[in-house]
Amino acid sequence: MLIQLFASLALAADPVTLEIGSKAPPISVETWVKGDEVKGFESGKVYVVEFWATWCGPCVASIPHLTKLQKTHPEAVIMGVAASERGKKDQPDARLAGLKTFVDKQGDGMAYRVAFDQDGSMDTAWMEASGQQGIPCTFIVGKDGMIEWIGHPMEMDAPLQGVLGGSWNRQKAKAALVIKQEMEAFVMRELPKLVATAERSGDWAPVTQRMDALAAKAADPTQIRMMKFQVLAEAGQGAEAMATARQLMDANIGSGGFNMLAWTIATDMPDNVRDLKLALVAADKAVALSKGQDGSILDTQARVHWELGDAAKALQIQRTAVELAEKAGVEPDLLADLKASLAQYEKAAAGK
Is the CATH number of domain 2-168 3.40.30.10? yes
| pLDDT number for residue 91 | 75
Hey, which residues does 149 pair with through a beta bridge? 140
Q: Of 60-69, 100-109, 302-311, 323-332, which range is least confident? A: 323-332
Asked if pLDDT for residue 6 goes beyond 50, the answer is no
| pLDDT number for residue 352 | 62
pLDDT in tens, 293-308: 999 999 999 999 999 9
Domain ranges of the chain: 2-168, 176-349
Can you tell me the distance from the alpha carbon of 249 to that of 9, in angstroms, rounded to the nearest whole number?
23
What is the arithmetic mean of pLDDT over 131-138? 89
Helix or strand or coil: residue 9?
Answer: coil
Asked if pLDDT for residue 9 goes beyond 90, the answer is no
Asked if pLDDT for residue 89 goes beyond 60, the answer is yes
Q: What percentage of the chain carries pLDDT values higher than 70? A: 95
Q: What percentage of the chain carries pLDDT values higher than 90? A: 73
pTM over 0.85: no
Asked if pLDDT for residue 8 goes beyond 50, the answer is no
Asked if pLDDT for residue 340 goes beyond 80, the answer is yes
Q: Are strands 76-82 and 46-52 parallel, antiparallel or unpaired?
A: parallel
State which H helix or E strand residue 34 sits in: strand 31-34
CB burial of 95-110 (b: ≥16 within 10 Å; e: otherwise) equals bbebbeebbeebeeeb
User: Which CATH number is 176-349 given?
Assistant: 1.25.40.10
* Cα distance from N-terminal residue to C-terminal residue, the chain: 37
Asked if pLDDT for residue 61 goes beyond 70, the answer is yes
Confidence of residue 343 (pLDDT cuts 50, 70, 90): very high
| pLDDT number for residue 90 | 67
What is the arithmetic mean of pLDDT over 19-36? 94
Q: Residue 143: exposed, middle, or buried by beta-carbon count in 10 A (0-12, 13-18, 19+)?
A: middle
Q: Which of 121, 122, 124, 136 is nearest to 56 (CA)?
A: 136
Average pLDDT of the chain is: 90
Task: Check for a shared fold between 2-168 and 176-349.
Answer: no
